[in-house]
Structure 1
Amino acid sequence: MPSPRPPVSSITLDAGSFAVIHQENADLQRPPASLTKLMIAYAAYEQVASGAAAWEMPVTVAAEDVHAVADDETRMGLVPGETVTLGRLLQGMLVVSGNDAALVLARHLHGSQAAYLQHMNALARRLGLGSTWFASVSGITTPRHVSSARDMAVLAGRLLADHPQVLAITAQPAFAHGTFSRSNQNALLADEGVDGLKTGYTRAAGFCLAATARRPIAGHAQPVRLITVVLGSEDREARDARVRRHLASGFAALAGDTVAEA
């Protein structure tokens, strides 16, 4: 018989101070699925900021990266041999979770997936993500590929703090490339103040979401941004309901109110 799935992990942080508002099994190591792509995005932004890359840079799509993506994996519709910009790849990776985009980005920025994984893990150490080890560029189920709700929330917070322009991408409701078109799978984008960040799912990881919202709070001069991460939910609806509940409770707590959490 298959082993039972670990309990759901969740955490809510104040994005400005990284103060923890809520946590449950937040340090439990588990697969992060496509939330992995938040690290790819962070690494790409860092390289562009350093001048080592540019979003307008043309990238030729290698056939092996397209063919490495299984039929049941998400993709942005890349075609072997076509040329796309680095910025376009980032959009396809973040909005529709294109695994093909992740593989092409990794090869272009560091020469190979193996080299990019080394870079991702070095960044994880630098950011203090002590429960995280990346063994997959795209987030597919891979032995030793693990993180935690706390680490993913801290990574999301650093991405927002260092490269807030990412929200212009993660807030996009849909993405199209060639004949491919797909909606953003983050259903919370219709909610008040929600503008990101990343959904994820594999059979091993369950349903995952790193969400962020910015809302005005009584007693605060400026709107407040929160980050909520849920890993390992049993289905998409339960995952979204948990995130909505934790965000509502977090904003209420900052306003001095209380919201009962089931």
Structure 2
Amino acid sequence: MPTSSPARAPLSAITIDAASRAVIHQHNADTVRPPASLTKLMTAYAAYACIAETGRSWDETVTIAGDDVHAVAADETRMGLLPGETVPLARLLEGMMIVSGNDAALAIARHLDGSQGAFLQRMNRHARQLGLRDTRFASVSGITTPHHASSARDMAVLAAHLLADHPQILAITAQRAFAHGRFSRTNQNALLGDEGVDGLKTGYTQAAGFCLAATACRGLPGQAQLVRLITVVLGSDSRQARDARVREQLATGFATLAGAVIEA
């Protein structure tokens, strides 16, 4: 007798100021749930931290292990890596962040820490250091895995730290397409091209629903410096509904801040 999938938790959403991390809007922001490929925000953060701590370089060449290619199921996203090929570490970061390559995430983890398990320890250590109270990582790519969970609030805080500590990530997440060998794919962040939107990460699994951590930087009347907002939506029922919700929250967030500046 067929079994039905567990019911997904109601949608979670939050919008914060990237600099101050002040909350502008939130809805079920602390609901603990799978974050899908938004996980890769921490995979990237931990990779940047590892390289800084160890004095290693993004120019390092990585030999791709067969296990990291074959472990990625046919229905998972990938960047088209082949066993035995050599790829610069920086190229793996691009493949992971632009087209959400799960093979790239596995290869990064293995190269930097020797195994996914060791790299997961690093990711969870950073989660504790950043105060992500509802987060536990059990996958470096974000595939559905027991005990792998986060919340919209934690993902927004993580995104804020990633942008503050490694703003160069935006030069990657703003790219519209990616190609590696015979593989090519567009960035699934349809908000790129909207006013000021330059990242950050999309995600989808059946368990998590459609997810997006988006960021945009815009000017406000009467304010000299540009303002950057981060909006996270987890658990939407469709890509279209997710994108519409994020666009609405970004627009409302900037309008709220503009109104506050005018009243002041």
TM-score by length of 2: 0.96
Q: Which residue of 2 aligns with 1:91?
A: 94
Residue correspondence of structure 1 range 44-63 to structure 2 within 5 A = 44-63=47-66
The alignment status of 1:20 with 2:15, answered yes or no, reads no
Question: Partner letter of residue 146 of structure 1?
Answer: A
Take 1:81 and 1:58, find their aligned partners in 2: how far apart are those partners?
Answer: 12
The alignment status of 1:11 with 2:19, answered yes or no, reads no
Q: Which residue of 2 aligns with 1:42?
A: 45
Q: Which residue of 1 aligns with 2:195?
A: 192
Q: How many residues are treated as equivalent by the alignment?
A: 257
Structure 1 residue runs of 4+, over 4 Å off?
A: none
Q: Cα distance, 1:51 vs. partner? A: 4.4
Q: Which residue of 2 aligns with 1:225?
A: 228
Q: Which residue of 2 aligns with 1:118?
A: 121
Q: Which runs of 5+ in 1 are unaligned?
A: 258-262
Q: Which residue of 2 aligns with 1:260?
A: none
Q: Which residue of 2 aligns with 1:75?
A: 78
What is the DSSP-based 3-state SS (H/G/I as helix, E as strand, rest coil) of the residue aligned with 1:106? Answer: helix
Q: Which runs of 5+ in 2 are unaligned?
A: none
Take 2:108 and 2:51, find their aligned partners in 1: how far apart are those partners?
Answer: 13
Take 2:139 and 2:207, find their aligned partners in 1: how far apart are those partners?
Answer: 14
Take 1:182 and 1:166, find their aligned partners in 2: how far apart are those partners?
Answer: 19
One of 32, 36, 41 as aligned partner of 1:33: 36
Q: Which residue of 2 aligns with 1:172?
A: 175
Take 1:159 and 1:3, find their aligned partners in 2: how far apart are those partners?
Answer: 32
Q: Which residue of 2 aligns with 1:183?
A: 186
Question: Partner letter of residue 215 of structure 2?
Answer: T
Q: Cα distance, 1:3 vs. partner? A: 3.6
CA-based RMSD of the aligned residues comes to: 0.9
Over residues 78-125 of structure 1, what are the superposed CA-to-partner deviations in whole Å (9 max), with x where a residue is unaligned?
000000011000000000000000000000010000101111001100
Identity of aligned residues (%): 72
Question: Partner letter of residue 150 of structure 2?
Answer: S
Question: Partner letter of residue 152 of structure 1?
Answer: M
Question: Partner letter of residue 130 of structure 2?
Answer: L
Take 1:4 and 1:202, find their aligned partners in 2: how far apart are those partners?
Answer: 13
Q: Cα distance, 1:147 vs. partner? A: 0.1
Q: Cα distance, 1:4 vs. partner? A: 2.6
